[in-house]
Amino acid sequence: MVKSRDEGWRGVRRFRRPVLTPVVPKRRPAVTAHRGASVSNAEHTLGAYTTALELGAEGIECDVRLTADGHLVCVHDRRIDRTSTGTGAVSTFQLEQLEALDWATWKNPWGEFDDEAEGEESEGAAFLTLERLLDVVKDWGKPVELAIETKHPTRYAGLVERRLVELLDRYGWARPRRGATSPVRIMSFSWISLRRCLEMAPGLPMVYLMERVPLRLRDGSLPLGASVAGPSIDIVRAHPEYVEKVHAAGHEVDVWVVNTTSDIALCAGLGVDAIITDNPADALQQLTGRR
């Protein structure tokens, strides 16, 4: 007997495809700050995120990796060489060692010689754990969407996803009670990573990130359990009709990384649900007409 598609995916048999209802595009795309306001601040620092929220961004995005002593930290690259004064893989360092490094100077290496430059305060330039970022979202005073991307491959296999769901559980955001909502959506280029998260937190939105759209998904469908398509801006430029196909299939569309005036206009015209941008200030000004 040939197995059904659901039966061939161990652990996700309960995630049946729902009856598809076309998604009605929002009035304008929500603006999500990519690694914070990373065009002006050192990415993944506290200052980058608070700046984005002060500007009015509706959402923020972060990447997470696991340290040698089991802490989830906000770092994009596998190695820390580009964005810190250290060298080596994130997974080989303990949290205390990472916190002792400088994570902001790389953004403005000549800043110490500029008497007129304000520079980033030490608190705003501090190395950021996911837990601290969750506190920012919780305490901000108004709703904030948080998109968390799990980075792969990793030496810790499924431990990243397990620690992530455990941490979200502490905030009541992994399995929100009836009537409550979670500000979190989980993103990954790895469907295996999203599947692990689905098994532990089936109620959270899962964003399937793509640098190219697989042939089997070009009709707008997504892997079983994913509810949001995450195409690159390159995909949307080359195949703008893809957005309508995803909406017709009942899914939302979050596009990364949307920085130019023309790309923002394109996404707004196509009715995408969210743009992920390095420059939330310019995106918000263009979309709302307000500074």
CA atoms within 13 A of residue 82's CA, in its CB half-sphere:
8
CA atoms within 13 A of residue 272's CA, in its CB half-sphere:
32
Measured CA distances, 95 to 46, 82, 91, 205, 275 (Å): 16, 18, 10, 29, 31
User: What is the residue-wise DSSP string for 210-247?
Assistant: ESS--GGGTTS--STT--EEEEBHHHHHH-THHHHHHH
Tokens 């299939």, residue located = 249
Is 251 one of the annotated active-site residues of the chain?
Answer: no
The token pair at 251 is: 């899914």
Is 34 one of the annotated active-site residues of the chain?
Answer: yes
CA atoms within 13 A of residue 216's CA, in its CB half-sphere:
3
Q: Report phi then psi at 220, rounded to 5.
A: 100, -5
From the candidates 44, 71, 76, 251, give the one annotated as an active-site residue: 76
From the candidates 34, 71, 247, 251, give the one annotated as an active-site residue: 34
Q: Are 12 and 224 in contact (CB under 8 A)?
A: yes
Cite the active site residues: 34, 76
